[in-house]
Amino acid sequence: MVAQRGRRNGAKRTRSEAAPDADNAPTAEMPAVTENGTDPEIRARSIPEAAVARLAVYLRVLSAMADQGATTVSSEELSTAAGVNSAKLRKDLSYLGSYGTRGVGYDVAVLVGHIERTLGLTRQHRVAVVGIGNLGHALANYGGFPGRGFPVEALFDIDPDLIGVPVGGLPVSHIDDIPVVCAERGISIGVIATPPPAAQSVCDRLVAGGVQCILNFAPVVLQVPEHVEVRKVDLAVELQILSFHVARRADGEANGRVIDEGSVAGNGVVVP
């Protein structure tokens, strides 16, 4: 996904760089916690955004382990399940003040609690979905959001045939009502699933309603104030990235076959 930030003093800017994947990339301010879940100083510690993304993956894996009855997990087991190397995992968890116990590993329940506090999941974040097309319907009806602390509390569209119609148990409101409804219901996260031309207008309404975080599925770069965080999900871009990897592997396999046949190496050099 693409991360996008705003600009200070109410001005707006756009940013379209891909989300950082290096540990020295821009950071998010997160509270540190100690192994027993308390820290008398509770100071903010800078965690790289790439590490924040991995913490969410660790939480998903750990929650599944807990559901299966696991009480402890080694760094090797957790890193394998999460698809990262164990050294990177240990570094990520060290940001939480969690270092595990030699020969035992990490307490699953304690680690889940640490990550949930760091990711701000100890309270619910009310969500509004704007654009009740196929994607919006799917998001509104998805039952996994409330259980993870993200109840969908408001739906919006511009189609008069949809206004007032319940979707996922919630009536659809008109997009003109976004500022008032979002303020009344304490919406903190807005999901934009509209056609591209409507996305910026919807974004402005969400910001006017006090929404501080936006998940944008529209293939446009939004202009937002500094205090608003935007995550962009462009499925076409993701598919293009996958296409690159498929093509690269296909090229590698083709070159490998040529080498095996004893004619030409992958760099075009003739093999004796």
Q: Binding site membership for NAD(+): which residues?
A: 131-136
Residue stretches of the annotated binding site: 131-136
Residue 126 gets the label, from left (phi > 0), alpha (psi -120 to 50) or beta, of: beta
Determine the Cα–Cα distance for residues 132 and 167; give it in Å rounded to an integer.
9
* Token digits of residue 196: 């591209």
Instruction: Residue 64: name the closest of 115, 124, 108 by CA.
Output: 108
Determine the Cα–Cα distance for residues 177 and 168; give it in Å rounded to an integer.
19
The residue type of 20 is P
Contact indicator for 31, 4 with CB cutoff of 8 Å? no
The residue type of 254 is A
The DSSP secondary-structure symbol of 128 reads: E
